[in-house]
Amino acid sequence: MKFKITAAVIAVILFAVILKAIGDSDLITIEDNVSRAQRTVEYSAPASGSGDSSVAYSIPPQTDGAGSPFKYYYFRLNETEKKAYDNLIEKIYNMPERVRIPSLRQDELNNVFEALLYDNPDLFFVSTKCTQISVGSLAYMSLEYRMSQSGYKAAKAKIDAVCDKLVSSLTDPRNEWQTELEIHNALVDMLEYKFSNEPDDFSTVYGALVNGEASCEGYSKAVKYIFDRLGIESYVVAGRATDTDGTSEAHMWNIVRINGTYCQLDVTWDDPVKSSWRTYGYFNLTDEQINYDHGSWHFDYDCTSVSQSYYAVSGLYFNSYSEGDNDNLAKAVAKQIEGGADAIELRFASASAYNAGRRTLTEGQNIYDVLYKAKKYGSVRNFSHTSLTYSESDTTYIMTFFLNFE
């Protein structure tokens, strides 16, 4: 029930913020005269390569109180917006009909509400509509909820049960990179991509972790929810992505901080739609790499290092390639196969490195020498070293070799 305004009210100003998924891209956006947060809160940040951006814009590593310990969007708000955010995050879990806030302009209201939902994936019980009501000199935000308090308690218990299972399965929770990899793999294995134009669970952490069905928003919020619990700094990022057919759509993914390095992570695009093999093409990319097919996003820290990428850590990333690299690649391939891989992905740092790898491995057929040596270095030997199929991408500089097991 909304707050009732009596006849004694002198002035009433209503601001409505309505969010819904649009297009085929499953991203929370704002309709009509309300701009997407990615636009409305944008401001001048250090240019890429201009130095240590963490000095220019320092976000405290954690925040106390309710919601996520890592509130990136909160720290981009002005002081009035932060006060409104603080009031809301303190009260919202009790599901009040209204919360006293400082009086906000339309754009400020947009910023606050989106910051709340982007920062805190556990607010899945909050409706995608809010209203600011000004009564004289006082202002309130009227909120709507998707479920009751008892319903939220039950839903969150189910979410946390799934998280408990995931966390208990981690091989080394102190190893951030390995933990990220295992959570990535678990989500790819358990989630099925779904999308609807209507507000539904697909866009929430509940839909992802309990129902196993999620849009890209659901994927990214599940990542943040789990990483929040593990103490790994992560954020959702809204932008656009261009598919292989050239279609550009709204999209959401994550930026994570692994071993002190900010990286781009898109679990949705690493989840194969029509195949069973995992891919790591969007596991800890740089800004330059993600911009091959993602755009219209903003983040205040540069992601410039490939050191935490799947390929670099796994010995599958090359700044150049020649026959002299065959032996090291064979060792990396043997390790991949022992880990259960039935496809091997290589990533190259540049077009020239990629072309050198293609000339050596496929045109020069050195890939067969690599596979022959991999049998020597590994314990798994029931794969062919004389036949395989492969794919190439001259956009992402990735070569994928699909093994034939005998």
Q: Greater confidence, 234 or 24?
A: 234
Which pTM does this prediction carry? 0.84
Q: Report which of 121, 142, 105 is spatially closest to residue 227, judged by C-alpha positions.
A: 121
Overall average pLDDT of the 346-373 stretch: 97
Task: Tell me: pLDDT of 24 over 90.
Answer: no
Amino acid at position 282, single letter: Y
Per DSSP (E only), the strands in 71-137 are 98-101, 126-135
For range 347-351, the mean pLDDT: 97
Average pLDDT score over residue span 255-259: 98
Tell me the average pLDDT across 391-397. 92
| The pLDDT of residue 130 | 85
Q: What is the pLDDT of residue 33?
A: 27
CB atoms within 10 A of CB 106: 16
**Structure confidence at residue 354 as a pLDDT band (50, 70, 90):** very high
pLDDT band at residue 136 using 50, 70 and 90 as cut-offs: confident
Three-state DSSP string of 292-307: CCEECCCCCCCCCCCC
- The chain-wide mean pLDDT, for the chain, equals 85
Instruction: Decide if 209 contacts 15 (C-beta within 8 A).
Output: no
The dihedral sign for the CA sequence 114, 308, 176, 342: positive
Check if the beta carbon of residue 252 is closer than 8 Å to that of residue 217. Answer: yes
CB count within 10 Å of CB 277 equals 13
Beta strands in 283-342 (DSSP E): 283-285, 294-295, 317-318
Residue 31 has pLDDT above 60, yes or no: no
Give, in order, the Cα–Cα distances in Å from 150 to each of 88, 120, 146, 225: 20, 19, 12, 21
Largest CA distance in the chain: 86
pLDDT of residue 64: 62
| End-to-end CA gap in the chain | 66
DSSP conformation class of 201:
G
Has residue 32 got a pLDDT over 80? no
Q: Give the mean model confidence (pLDDT) for residues 135-155.
A: 93
Tokens of 289: 């790499």
Q: How many CB atoms lie within 10 A of CB 351?
A: 11
pLDDT in tens, 37-88: 222 222 222 233 333 333 233 445 556 678 999 999 999 999 999 999 999 9
Give which of 144, 108, 142, 103 is closest to 127, Cα–Cα. Answer: 144
E strand or H helix that includes residue 87: helix 79-91
Q: What pLDDT is recorded for position 311?
A: 98
pLDDT at 66: 87
pLDDT band, very low/low/confident/very high, at 9 (cuts 50, 70, 90) = very low
Which DSSP helix (H) or strand (E) runs through 150? helix 149-168
Cβ-contact 138, 102 below 8 angstroms: no
With 60 as the cut, is the pLDDT of residue 185 above it?
yes
For the chain, domain boundaries? 12-150, 315-406
Q: Does the pLDDT value for residue 95 go beyond 80? A: yes
State the pLDDT at residue 199.
58
Q: What is the DSSP string of 203-250?
A: GSHHIIIIISEE-HHHHHHHHHHHHHHHT--EEEEEEEEE-TTS-EEE
The alpha carbon dihedral of 353, 359, 360, 361 has a sign of positive
pLDDT at 198: 60
* pLDDT above 80 for 22: no
Contact at 8 Å (CB) between 267 and 214?
Answer: no
- What SS3 class is residue 335? helix
* 132 alpha carbon, distance to own chain's centre: 30
- The amino acid at residue 306 is V
CB 20 within 8 A of CB 29: yes
If we measure between CA atoms, which residue out of 293, 274, 284, 269 comes closest to residue 188? Answer: 269
**Cα–Cα distances in angstroms (integers) from residue 7 to residues 10, 132, 135, 137, 225, in the given order:** 8, 18, 11, 16, 44
Distances (CA, A) of 282 to 3, 19, 347: 46, 27, 11
